[in-house]
Structure 1
Amino acid sequence: MTNYPHLAQRLFNTPLAILPSKGEMVMAALADRFGIAKLFRANGIESKMGAWSEDEEFSGPADSPPRGYEIVAGVAVIPVTGTLVAKLGTIRPYSGMTGYDGLRANFSMAIDDPKVKAIAFDIDSPGGEVSGCFDLADTIYGQRGTKPIWAILSDSAYSAAYAIASACDRIVVPRTGGTGSVGVICMAVEFSKALTTAGVTVNIFQYGDRKADGNEYTPLEKAARERFQADIDEMGDLFVSTVARNRNLSKAVVRGTQATTFLGAKGVEIGFADAVMAPDEAFRSLLVELGK
């Protein structure tokens, strides 16, 4: 339980765009890998966008910078797997997580890479943190027309992962994969009763009436509850607007899903995906579009 305070800070009292059933996964996965300004590869070696270490492994000629994606027949395949977090500090998925920082770096490199003719996000994720998600989605959406950008689901793209997928030109989902969960959740926790039972009293000194809102030692007041719900509503509206824009759907349709998840063809019917194919078939379809 050494990391419990830090884990609780990342999981509770903060907006998440993730499947509620995956909350336990987030608790297990989110440790102390946040606030990292530098990017590191999984082997622990620092990765710089404009330089590289002779000891660092990367594919490509000696004058190429290290990258977190493979190029297959001219397609940059960028993996998006596990829980999504704002700052993981690696350019590849690591320890069951993928960072928006690494995805942004990989996407930027792939867009500028003359060897890359198209980009495929290989997605299998329940979602994750709201922080950084919509900025990344806007960046991907803003590059439409530069190169073909596909979201090829190797299983599912839910919540924050779906926000990323929706920004792509095309979304292909397998029969047993899923899309959707367009919503935001925040789990506020307080231990006041447990502390009282244990004979523990926590005294809070504050400057500013709202400074201690949401602390875990006192019950949540009505004013604080309303303020937090308003924040969640605003983020939810941003999510709905983003997906509606990306998928050319009305906000009413997206909002009407009420964060429902859709299996395979059901996602195509609602407008959350374009086709149902196995990942390898979807990749071949992308190559056909490229004339290969």
Structure 2
Amino acid sequence: MRNPLIASRLFNIPLMVLPDKLDAVIFGLQERIGIHVEDAPEPSMYLTQSGERREPGYQVIDGVAVIEVFGGLAHRGGLQADSSYILGYQTIARRLTAALEDSGVHTVLMVLDSPGGEVSGVFSLAEQIYNARGTKRIVAAVSDMACSAGYLIASACGEVYASETACLGSIGVVMRHVDQSKRIEKMGMTITHIFMGDHKVDGNPFEPLPEDVRARYQNVCIKLYTMFTQRVALYLGMDVQAVINTQAAVYVGDESLNVGLANGVESTDETISRLISERGGAGSRQTITGMETSTMSTEKKEPKAGQVTKPAATAAASEPTTTSEVVEQPAAATEQPAAVTSDVQADVPDGAALERTRIKTIMSSDHAKGREEQASHLAYETEMSADAAIKVLASGVSAVKPAGNKLDKVMANTQQPDVGAEGGEQAEMSDSARILSDLNASRGIKKQGAQS
């Protein structure tokens, strides 16, 4: 094996990836761990609309920053394993940061086509996305896969739209061990381990996996699965049990609506067009009365069947208010003067009125009867549109508020399996880093920078 370090990232380590995809990667690398770097696919492969390309690797279409998340996902670097592209979480994070700091961007769209990947790094990226939701609107478009770690990223966006054939879910954890002892014996070879520390060679591929080692690995998977399901519940405002009930199943298209994993079904191009129109982007006539401009539309955009959109008040909540406005007029409308008058401004409903209407619609819905507590949570403590909230109520999927709306409080209410020591320096580690540190410790691997 020419690259044992690559193999160590596939075997005896928990992964958040579709098992079939893991099999494909392993098959491609089975005889030789052959890796070579190639350029990432162009965004035009996933979109028919085009926009200005900006570094470090996203494009902007009328104020919508499009960030592609495709292929297998890993903690660092972009690799090419056989025919499977491996995208680094840090690369996605850099693109997200740049888009958030871009003054020409009002919405970030994460376009996903990924079966998932490594655990290391994905929880940090998901938290970055979740925490940025108050800065700019962040939306996920699944075209055509967001599974396992890919779905964690999608859920962190808060709004998830899937194409008709998109695959979503696989909310679970998988770990593989390869026993090559019979192959080694057939080759007439004997492998001898010389080591100190009872767990130094746990999980080695030259002998069957002992039951006690298997049990420890299973506990690691359980703990990571608990983190995974609780994060998805937190990001989407769902009940944890509703996420667990999916049992890592994969849902296609509108099936994802029934279990609360998506807000609507539409193509990526439709999502982009809608996000632009909601901000009065493409084709709008700009009337500038000051140094800053904003946009609004005098035309009501009716959502398509099955499409759920955020209320205008929510979509614009993070945007600063300016003293000058830009009005988009229908093609046949009379041209307006250069300055926007107070009469025009008076016709635009304020955010408070829209929010009152949204709350009233949810609370007075027939589906809210008998589910008043859940309806109250959806109305007052989430940003769901009225249509989306009513669909959740109608589906019977619970959406109670996680305690304190903080992951640490959610984790505190759930029994965790005991996987290694968690004191001392580990108290300052992130949950995922601590779990992987425990796993490495059980295998006799010291922290990075120490000699093993």
Taking structure 2 as the reference length, the TM-score comes to 0.55
Shift of 1:41: 9.4
Give the SS at the match of 1:17.
strand
Q: Which residue of 2 aligns with 1:173?
A: 162
- Equivalents in 2 of 1:202, 1:236: separation in Å? 34
Q: Deviations over 1:198-220 (max 9, x none)?
A: 22111111111111111111221
Q: Which residue of 2 aligns with 1:281?
A: 270
Structure 1 residue aligned with 2:210, among 221, 226, 229? 221
1:157 maps to 2:146:
yes
Give the SS at the match of 2:262.
coil
Give the SS at the match of 2:72.
strand
Shift of 1:290: 2.2
AA matched with 1:186: M
- Alpha-carbon spacing, 1:9–1:136, altered in 2? closer, same or farther (3 Å): same
Shift of 1:251: 1.0
- Alpha-carbon spacing, 1:89–1:125, altered in 2? closer, same or farther (3 Å): closer
Q: Which residue of 2 aligns with 1:20?
A: 19
Which stretch shifts more, 5-14 or 179-188?
Answer: 5-14
Give the SS at the match of 1:252.
helix
Give the SS at the match of 2:133.
coil
Q: Which residue of 2 aligns with 1:146?
A: 135
Give the SS at the match of 1:157.
strand
- Alpha-carbon spacing, 1:212–1:137, altered in 2? closer, same or farther (3 Å): same
Contact 1:74 1:118 in 2 (8 A): yes
What RMSD over aligned residues (CA atoms) do the two structures have, in Å? Answer: 2.2
Aligned residues: percent identity? Answer: 38
Q: Deviations over 1:137-160 (max 9, x none)?
A: 011001112111010112111111
1:103 maps to 2:92:
yes
- Equivalents in 1 of 2:97, 2:226: separation in Å? 27
- Equivalents in 2 of 1:236, 1:81: separation in Å? 23
Shift of 1:10: 2.3
AA matched with 1:26: V
AA matched with 2:264: A
- Equivalents in 1 of 2:230, 2:265: separation in Å? 25
Shift of 1:278: 1.4
Give the SS at the match of 2:160.
strand
- Equivalents in 2 of 1:274, 1:97: separation in Å? 28
Give the SS at the match of 1:281.
helix
AA matched with 2:23: E
- Alpha-carbon spacing, 1:236–1:275, altered in 2? closer, same or farther (3 Å): same
Q: Which residue of 1 aligns with 2:8?
A: 9
Contact 1:126 1:156 in 2 (8 A): yes
- Alpha-carbon spacing, 1:67–1:95, altered in 2? closer, same or farther (3 Å): farther
Give the SS at the match of 1:284.
helix
Contact 2:64 2:272 in 1 (8 A): no
- Equivalents in 2 of 1:280, 1:168: separation in Å? 18
- Alpha-carbon spacing, 1:126–1:70, altered in 2? closer, same or farther (3 Å): same
Q: Deviations over 1:236-270 (max 9, x none)?
A: 11110110101111111111111000011110110
Shift of 1:284: 1.3
Give the SS at the match of 2:233.
helix
Give the SS at the match of 1:237.
helix
Give the SS at the match of 1:152.
strand
Shift of 1:98: 1.6
Unaligned runs of 5+ in 2: 41-51, 282-452
Structure 1 residue aligned with 2:252, among 263, 269, 289? 263
AA matched with 1:249: M
Which stretch shifts more, 192-201 or 155-164?
Answer: 192-201
Taking structure 1 as the reference length, the TM-score comes to 0.84
Contact 2:58 2:95 in 1 (8 A): yes
Q: Deviations over 1:145-194 (max 9, x none)?
A: 21110101121111110000000031100111121000010011121122
Residues 173-192 of structure 1: pairs in structure 2 closer than 5 A: 173-192=162-181
Give the SS at the match of 1:11.
coil
Corresponding residue pairs, total: 263
* Bigger relative contact order (CA 8 A; separation at least 6): 1
1:243 maps to 2:232:
yes
Larger Rg: 2
Q: Which residue of 1 aligns with 2:397?
A: none
Unaligned runs of 5+ in 1: 34-39, 44-57, 61-65
Contact 2:53 2:60 in 1 (8 A): no
Q: Deviations over 1:30-87 (max 9, x none)?
A: 8557xxxxxx9949xxxxxxxxxxxxxx956xxxxx3210111111100111111111
- Equivalents in 1 of 2:275, 2:88: separation in Å? 25
